[in-house]
Structure 1
């Protein structure tokens, strides 16, 4: 548990940042909105004050098709999706290492590609009728600029959900990696009520952070330095840093993350963790990931005493310290595979994970 004085200081900052529109707050966090294009600056500033939707975030509705080569035409603006009485699935992707705050505003093609990079297998499973998901649910997908703070993205995700769905809807969020943290901000008591969100399933979300976003962990290892250079030099990336706070959390030297500490403390006090089911990837052998990247990450974490991980997120972090409604380990899936994204779309690990997620949602109405 954090000392009360530290909690109070950080809570004051978060409340100011999340729930006010004073110009001084914008100036303080202006690096979130800097762009080389003045028009981009103006659009982002208007979005920050709630006068326009953030042009770097969007909710799409997915229209099932017949080809595994998913067409951009299958992604509709959420407000254009015909209303139905089906339950709603909202999938949220994770961190994109290629993005920076100063990049031009992403067009729809880029937004859709960001979604496909994470969830293309899952969307194919959905449109092909696996577990009859497409008969029971409408599928939506949310994208955002991951270099921005999770506080910025979470607040805007909340606004998007509030504008799209009504209290009579039944909405189930499936969030991979950083998307789980964005969702936790969106659903935090301080952000505002979203009674239509019935359940959140997180897939390999670093709910207590990842060492690869912590400067002190990077050391001289070329792999960690390369990864760290993508993470710690953006606000969003730095907020993925590992924290030593949290239930059952293994300690690594010098690790801290006040943003996650305050967010998680808020959830403990509000009791909202009961809305979360956490899936965690566990590589039983550091050769079983589908890429050298995750296998190397697995070895580095194991050598640091974090013996169970998906190559990026340690087990206890992904499981939220066993504090949620339910925790589920997924054997021999690396961090990307935890979003159904196996090299072979018909791999049993992808198919089984999809089925298990749909089953958990059905069993927790």
Structure 2
């Protein structure tokens, strides 16, 4: 167990705060992944709350391969109209969007698709261009949701969408980045309902034991740091990304707890459900200079100085690997949190291409 070294932590956090504030753009902290919302329909939200309509902020799309790396919105077809085939299905689900709030207008299709592309465009291009013959063997789907909502709510909605979109004879494989892995774990938990067609889940840098950066006690008592923490995780969904001290191999943070993850992880242990999960963890170099974004490199340094010596700049290795309790754990060297969704600046970067290959290989070789 490692105590949080406050002096070093504060220095690096002040550096991070200064850059974000002086650039007047807090979204830059995660600029490679997220966008905002722009349309409102209170009536639709009310009907969704009553269970009379699907939540308008979540949707499942099928992906139609094209010929250009400039992916168009027309390549994303609502799953209701996507042609069904005998191929196996891969569903990509993205992670947390700190720009979202429950009070934001409803996300229209254009923004939903942009959110997906911001996370997975490189992976979609690899699929489109026939890497590892994935397009001949699999159909690709993508799921998007409002991440400010509780993972418990989003997980139930994801379960309902899966149940309505596939049959028990389908072979479905889920590839989940970051928070998407937690939403998937809720959707497949024994309390929600068994989905026999989901054969395997691959998590990419999912904070299965949470992240220190979503933990108020980790950020300290400085009011500026609290403002940043409140902005980034000041929603129900964001708060449920917080670090838990419970779990095999966990580093202790004073005052940290996450009852949602604790209950979810215990239920998986009780029901022996971890055996269908393969967990990938990003492990940046000790020097913390192997990421493509300064903010993730800085995050890596902050975590290193707090005793989390292996991370992707946001999620510690042990958290991403669920304390080695999943069916299989795989480390990806020198990749930051965004790169763990195939998102390298250069689409042809070997780190992006190799990660895609490894994910497809794990699915192809799945015993289920």
Tell whether 2:349 aligns with 1:347: yes
| In structure 2, distance between residues paired with 1:341 and 1:264 | 28
| In structure 2, distance between residues paired with 1:137 and 1:222 | 49
1:329 maps to 331
- Is the 8 Å Cα contact of residues 217 and 253 (structure 2) preserved in structure 1? no
| 1:221–1:315 Cα change, 3 Å | farther
2:161 maps to 160
1:89 maps to 90
Cα deviation, 1:25-75, whole Å, max 9, x if unaligned, reads: xxxxxxxxxx999x7333223213321100000000000000000000000
Q: Report the alpha carbon displacement of residue 219 of structure 1 after superposing the two structures with TM.
A: 1.6
1:78 maps to 79
1:229 maps to 230
- Is the 8 Å Cα contact of residues 212 and 227 (structure 1) preserved in structure 2? no
Q: Report the alpha carbon displacement of residue 225 of structure 1 after superposing the two structures with TM.
A: 4.7
Q: 1:309 aligns with which of 308, 311, 326?
A: 311
| 1:249–1:275 Cα change, 3 Å | same
Q: Report the alpha carbon displacement of residue 83 of structure 1 after superposing the two structures with TM.
A: 1.0
* TM-score for both structures, normalised by structure 2: 0.87
Aligned pairs (5 A) from 1:1-40: 40=41
| In structure 2, distance between residues paired with 1:36 and 1:296 | 31
| In structure 1, distance between residues paired with 2:337 and 2:298 | 12
Q: Report the alpha carbon displacement of residue 248 of structure 1 after superposing the two structures with TM.
A: 1.5
How many matched pairs?
A: 330
SS of equivalent to 2:254: coil
Cα deviation, 1:163-215, whole Å, max 9, x if unaligned, reads: 00000000000000000000000000000111100000000000000000001
Aligned pairs (5 A) from 1:34-73: 40-73=41-74
- Is the 8 Å Cα contact of residues 279 and 326 (structure 2) preserved in structure 1? yes
Q: Report the alpha carbon displacement of residue 97 of structure 1 after superposing the two structures with TM.
A: 1.4
| In structure 1, distance between residues paired with 2:38 and 2:122 | 35
The CA RMSD over aligned residues, in Å, is 1.7
- Is the 8 Å Cα contact of residues 281 and 312 (structure 2) preserved in structure 1? yes
- Is the 8 Å Cα contact of residues 215 and 232 (structure 1) preserved in structure 2? no
- Is the 8 Å Cα contact of residues 98 and 233 (structure 2) preserved in structure 1? no
- Is the 8 Å Cα contact of residues 212 and 224 (structure 1) preserved in structure 2? no
| 1:226–1:114 Cα change, 3 Å | farther
| In structure 1, distance between residues paired with 2:177 and 2:339 | 10
Cα deviation, 1:80-134, whole Å, max 9, x if unaligned, reads: 1111000000000001111111110000000000000100000000000000000
1:29 maps to none
Aligned pairs (5 A) from 1:277-292: 277-284=278-285, 285-292=287-294
Q: Report the alpha carbon displacement of residue 231 of structure 1 after superposing the two structures with TM.
A: 2.9
- Is the 8 Å Cα contact of residues 57 and 142 (structure 1) preserved in structure 2? yes
- Is the 8 Å Cα contact of residues 38 and 106 (structure 2) preserved in structure 1? no
| In structure 2, distance between residues paired with 1:259 and 1:81 | 35
SS of equivalent to 1:181: helix
- Is the 8 Å Cα contact of residues 99 and 147 (structure 1) preserved in structure 2? yes
Tell whether 2:216 aligns with 1:219: no
Gaps of 5+ in 1: 1-34
SS of equivalent to 1:260: helix
| In structure 1, distance between residues paired with 2:225 and 2:275 | 34
2:18 maps to none
Gaps of 5+ in 2: 1-36
| In structure 2, distance between residues paired with 1:120 and 1:225 | 33
| 1:125–1:148 Cα change, 3 Å | same
SS of equivalent to 1:277: strand
| In structure 2, distance between residues paired with 1:104 and 1:304 | 38
Q: Report the alpha carbon displacement of residue 223 of structure 1 after superposing the two structures with TM.
A: 8.8
| In structure 1, distance between residues paired with 2:129 and 2:280 | 23
Whose RCO is larger (CA < 8 A, sep 6+)? 2
| In structure 2, distance between residues paired with 1:147 and 1:271 | 29
1:241 maps to 242
SS of equivalent to 1:265: helix
SS of equivalent to 2:248: coil
SS of equivalent to 2:41: helix
Q: Report the alpha carbon displacement of residue 220 of structure 1 after superposing the two structures with TM.
A: 5.5
